[in-house]
């Protein structure tokens, strides 16, 4: 079933919400319910029935009659009219609803219509944003239904992981503390419990970044290593300590980034693009035909390994901290070379 961004509940319809807002606005302006205008009164009843059938679970005619104070005869007549106009009116037993996949709804919502897979990708990208803007938070909330347990199961997550992800998403969204029960870490042999403030998903929801209260440090936890997630009724108290977590072009990660600028010849440029396909986003052509790379890195180790491996075809521009790092590594290599045994010629 496609997902509409105007209403987060999976059984709700975007157009129904729009109609409801329009209906309320007209009521507020006293544009409805003129005793001398039967047509407007009839239109009002049709709109209210349309809203009810698209934003509620399926209802019996008696249910509708009680909610809208409408006669059974009028209800049947309007339902037949909706069906004749092309709305997909569903009837299960004696209960009715209008399918949000009706051509009319899809037609008016085609600019904001996402498939379930597209919406899941968008939700995942938003969940990996550190310190989201108000607009991003609002959009994330509208996609919250994709992190409900049943939705996660439909996306292929196993029961335990789906349950933990659903609880984690609620904790992040509501800015609450959580306990990771029986977390299995490679550093520790025995499972342990951790009280944390989870604030950022990473690696396609496979990892979560969280502030650990016992150590006062931010740490990455693997979701599939958590035995059970318990959300606490306690809000975050260390928000200022939460920090973004980056992964650079050379696959090194960290909370800080440093800028490195390089001028590369054809050989170095080709080698970089071959091993790191995303590098072209950080490159521009220099006047002399070489390529300039201006890239943020989390560690000098990755970019340093690349530079030292083809140093004759690379010039370091600025980046004093990186230059000092290179000098230290070259000195270490030189010292190591001097300590190697020399094989004398006979």
Token couple for 145: 């239904």
Band the pLDDT of 34: cuts 50, 70, 90. Answer: very low
Q: CA-to-CA distance for 337 and 334, rounded, in angstroms?
A: 5
- What's the pLDDT score for residue 211? 97
The top-level CATH class assigned to 3-111 is mainly alpha
* Averaged pLDDT, 141-148: 63
Band the pLDDT of 346: cuts 50, 70, 90. Answer: low
Q: CA-to-CA distance for 221 and 210, rounded, in angstroms?
A: 7
* Averaged pLDDT, 204-230: 93
Ranges assigned E (strand) in 203-340: 207-212, 217-222, 228-235, 246-247, 253-254, 258-264, 283-285, 291-297, 314-317
Q: How many CB atoms lie within 10 A of CB 317?
A: 15
Q: Do residues 218 and 241 lie in contact, with contact meaning Cβ atoms separated by under 8 Å?
A: yes
Q: Token match 């000092």: residue? A: 324
Q: CA-to-CA distance for 161 and 288, rounded, in angstroms?
A: 54
* Averaged pLDDT, 143-148: 62
Domain ranges of the chain: 3-111, 116-241, 247-338
* Averaged pLDDT, 48-69: 84
Kindly report, residue by residue over 6-20, the tens digit of the pLDDT. 333 334 454 444 445
Whether 59 shows a pLDDT value over 60: the answer reads: yes
- What's the pLDDT score for residue 113? 53
Band the pLDDT of 84: cuts 50, 70, 90. Answer: confident
- What's the pLDDT score for residue 185? 84
Q: CA-to-CA distance for 346 and 340, rounded, in angstroms?
A: 19
Integer-rounded Cα Rg, in Å, for the chain is 30
Band the pLDDT of 33: cuts 50, 70, 90. Answer: very low
**Domain 116-241: which topology?**
SH3 type barrels. (2.30.30)
Nearest to 123 by CA among 100, 152, 153: 152
Instruction: Between 80 and 142, name the one with better pLDDT.
Output: 80
């Amino acid at each position: 079933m496609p997902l509409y961004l105007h209403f987060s509940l999976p059984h709700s319809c975007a157009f129904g919400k729009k109609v409801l807002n329009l209906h309320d606005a007209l009521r507020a302006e006293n544009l409805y319910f003129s005793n001398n205008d039967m047509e407007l009164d009839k239109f009002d009843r049709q709109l209210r029935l349309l809203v009810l059938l698209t934003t509620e679970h399926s209802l019996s005619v008696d249910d509708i009659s009680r909610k809208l104070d409408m006669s059974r005869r009028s209800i049947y007549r309007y339902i037949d009219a909706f069906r004749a106009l092309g709305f997909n009116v569903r009837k299960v037993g004696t209960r009715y609803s209008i399918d949000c996949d009706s051509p009319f709804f899809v037609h008016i919502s085609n600019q904001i219509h996402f498939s379930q897979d597209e919406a899941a990708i968008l939700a995942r990208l938003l969940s990996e944003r550190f310190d989201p803007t108000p607009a991003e938070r609002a959009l994330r909330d509208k996609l919250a239904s994709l992190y409900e347990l049943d939705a996660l199961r439909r996306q292929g997550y196993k029961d335990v992981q789906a349950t933990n992800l659903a609880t984690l998403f609620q904790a992040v969204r509501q800015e609450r503390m959580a306990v990771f029960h029986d977390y299995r870490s490679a550093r520790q042999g025995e499972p342990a419990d951790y009280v944390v403030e989870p604030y950022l998903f990473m690696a396609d929801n496979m990892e979560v970044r969280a502030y650990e209260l016992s150590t006062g440090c931010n740490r990455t936890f693997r979701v599939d290593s958590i035995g059970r997630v318990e959300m606490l009724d306690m809000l975050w108290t260390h928000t200022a300590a939460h920090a973004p977590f980056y992964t650079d072009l050379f696959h090194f990660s960290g909370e800080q980034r440093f800028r490195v600028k390089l001028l590369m010849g054809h050989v170095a440029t080709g080698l970089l693009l071959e091993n790191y396909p995303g590098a072209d986003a950080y490159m521009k052509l220099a006047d002399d035909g070489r390529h300039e790379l201006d890239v943020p890195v989390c560690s000098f180790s990755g970019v340093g390994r690349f530079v030292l491996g083809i140093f004759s075809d690379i010039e370091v521009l600025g980046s004093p901290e990186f230059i000092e790092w290179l000098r230290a590594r070259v000195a270490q290599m030189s010292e190591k070379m001097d300590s190697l045994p020399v094989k004398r010629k006979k």
